[in-house]
Amino acid sequence: MYYRYKSVFKKHYPAKKLAPLLALIVALSPFAIDTYLPAIPTMAKYFAVDIHLLELSIPIYLTGFAIGALVGGPVSDNFGRRWIGVAGLSLFLLSSLAIIFVTSVEQLWLLRYVQAFGGGFGLVISSAIVRDLYEGKDAAKIFTLIGFIMMIAPLIAPTIGSFLLLAFNWQAIFVLLAVYAFAQIIVILTLLPETKRLRIVAGYPRLTISQVFVNYIKIMSHRFALPYLLSSSFVAAAMFAFLTEVSFLYIDYFQVHESTFAWLFGLNIVSMMVCNRINHYLIDYWQPQKILQLGLLMQLTAASLLLLTGFLQLDNLWIVVTLLMVVIGSFGLIAPNNMYCYMHYFPETSGTANAVISASQFLFGAIVGIIVSYLHNATPIPMFSMVFVCCLLGFISFKGASINKSL
């Protein structure tokens, strides 16, 4: 009966229809971060504070997102995906509107945390729905398609943020985020499947709070999944080190205009999209683990060269832009394959497992973001150093993974 139910779900929600909808939900997080990156210097002046205090709003956001994912994952395993997503995005919407009226950076920090907490619910249901419905290379391909579609958000987000900043003010960015969240609520309520019935037929039990904690411990200590969890977290931390300092790097250090910043930032996303498309074709010929290793090695090599340019004080914008394109672009090979390898081990607790990896990524990112902010010394060295260290640890973590022929 379970497989008959699953086939019915797949028929009504084919991958090509489902992946774009899930990608739009997942894209809320990068959109919420990247739209206001060009506004950070302006917001620092508005609140009359040092820029690193505004940069701290990024790791604060990441922390809230991580906690939201940890709460939302097991709750969605018990009570279904759709209503948890609606609850989280409603919280995101209300806090986005409240940010418009803040008068201090401390109020901004608090509301960004609340906003992110709600956004974490939306992220966690997307990968869980994929794991509920699909397995094997079908799941890997859907993760790849979701990854490709969601890259459009960070590609266009800084441009949209720059336009709103120049045409209106920084508050307009958060009005847009509220509208986006409202649109996602409509999508969840009307177009996404509720896989709760499928999980009941499969015999997955409803978990108590104590069982949830036991599952968290099992997932975080899983012998075969742990290397993928750690690798993903360190690699995500490299991304967030970049996001924390990229406004300073381009706008303040290299003195580019906010509009130029938008397309320089977009080049990184274009390179990620190219790698994602390459990944789509490689999956038919290579195992996900092999593609993942290729991506990690590319990223580590570029990060090493980036750090070398910093120590040699080669202040050439285009060298930095090119190397960052490789570092960030490699995510197109790394992210979908790492997610597939990790989620493969947790068919019964997919929501909880996704919550763990999402929370770990954002917590690692928050820690690194805070470190980079406090090491800020008006040079790119802190950012380049943290990117290199995170990429190195990500590669080392992956090398601890056992080869699994079923992946």
Contact present, 299 and 330 (Cβ < 8 Å): yes
Going by C-beta distance under 8 Å and a sequence separation of 6 or more, which residues neighbour residue 169?
none
pTM of the model: 0.72
Backbone angles phi, psi at 102, to 5 degrees: -70, 150
Contact present, 157 and 38 (Cβ < 8 Å): no
Confidence at residue 86, expressed as pLDDT on a 0 to 100 scale: 87
Confidence at residue 15, expressed as pLDDT on a 0 to 100 scale: 62
Domain ranges of the chain: 7-399
Residue 252: exposure state from Cβ atoms within 10 A (0-12, 13-18, ≥19): middle
Confidence at residue 178, expressed as pLDDT on a 0 to 100 scale: 93
Q: Which CATH superfamily is domain 7-399 in?
A: MFS general substrate transporter like domains (1.20.1250.20)
Return d(Cα 369, Cα 96) in angstroms, integer. Answer: 22
Return d(Cα 175, Cα 101) in angstroms, integer. Answer: 11
Q: Per-10-residue mean pLDDT for the chain, 407 residues long?
A: 54 66 78 82 86 82 82 74 85 94 91 90 74 68 67 72 85 92 88 66 63 82 88 90 83 81 82 85 84 94 94 88 93 86 78 78 82 83 93 91 58
One-letter-per-residue 3-state SS of the chain: CHHHHHHHHHHHCCHHHHHHHHHHHHCHHHHHHHCCCCCHHHHHHHHCCCHHHHHCHHHHHHHHHHHHHHHHHHHHHHHCCHHHHHHHHHHHHHHHHHHCCCCCHHHHHHHHHHHHHHHHHHHHHHHHHHHHHCCHHHHHHHHHHHHHHHCHHHHHHHHHHHHHHHHCCCHHHHHHHHHHHHHHHHHHHHHCCCCHHHHHHCCCCCCCHHHHHHHHHHHHCCCCCHHHHHHHHHHHHHHHHHHHHHHHHHHHHCCCCHHHHHHHHHHHHHHHHHHHHHHHHHCCCCCHHHHHHHHHHHHHHHHHHHHHHHHCCCCCHHHHHHHHHHHHHCHHHHHHHHHHHHHCCCCCCHHHHHHHHHHHHHHHHHHHHHHHHHHCCCCCHHHHHHHHHHHHHHHHHHHCCCCCCCC
